[in-house]
Amino acid sequence: DAGVIQSPRHEVTEMGQEVTLRCKPISGHNSLFWYRQTMMRGLELLIYFNNNVPIDDSGMPEDRFSAKMPNASFSTLKIQPSEPRDSAVYFCASTLGGTQKELFFGEGSRLTVL
Amino acid sequence: GIQVEQSPPDLILQEGANSTLRCNFSDSVNNLQWFHQNPWGQLINLFYIPSGTKQNGRLSATTVATERYSLLYISSSQTTDSGVYFCAVARRSSNTGKLIFGQGTTLQVKP
């Protein structure tokens, strides 16, 4: 069974550039989550979608961050413009049936902004 | 918001030893999960355990929701158990069910 698939696995970019991270949830899962992991702040929930609709985006740091889920099998997290403090590992995760179910993570996208 | 405290922060074991990791939380929860992040950064779901006891091979977990803690037991530890163990909870009163992660316990198992 395919798990959560994220791309790219690694991204190195310069400050000011646009970054787009992609996620394909597990087939049949209807809830999708974007997390960010840093040494200082640990794992933080940025946004989550249920049935493609954003339910809680209170963790999105600022207007430079945006997320979309145009269909049940694809989501993007965009940072524009990127800043060095955005450097982190960004994880996508999915569940079947909302937040009360087991959470399955992708392998993460490691972003470095120079 | 809810506080999630994990202990110990760091743990070094000799292969074959047993260990207990603890997760304390400050409010009633209706969701609690344990994860293992291996040295390559992958996050693996170990248990979904808002209450009760579960076992999976050498790992088991117990959550006592009324006393606001959960324990993760690792028996006969192996070097592949190394990594960071996270506890994550969602407040019962939360209308979004957002999972809040603890800071983790870093485990190193030496051969």
Identify whether the C-beta of residue A90 lies closer than 8 Å to the C-beta of residue A34.
yes
- Which residue from A minimizes the CA distance to B101? A43
pLDDT of B6-60, one tens digit each? 999 999 999 999 999 999 999 999 899 999 999 999 999 999 999 999 999 999 9
Q: State the nearest Cα–Cα gap between A6 and chain B, in angstroms.
A: 12
Give the pLDDT of residue A1.
Answer: 64
Task: Provide the pLDDT confidence category of residue A99 given band limits of 50, 70 and 90.
Answer: low
Task: Provide the pLDDT confidence category of residue B95 given band limits of 50, 70 and 90.
Answer: low
A99 touches chain B (CB under 8 A): yes
| Helix, strand, coil share (%) of chain A residues, nearest 5 | 5, 55, 45
A16 touches chain B (CB under 8 A): no
Q: State the nearest Cα–Cα gap between B4 and chain A, in angstroms.
A: 12
- Which residue from A minimizes the CA distance to B103? A42
Q: Tell me what the mean pLDDT of segment A77-104 comes to.
A: 91
Q: Which of A52-66, B33-47, B73-87 has the lowest mean pLDDT?
A: A52-66
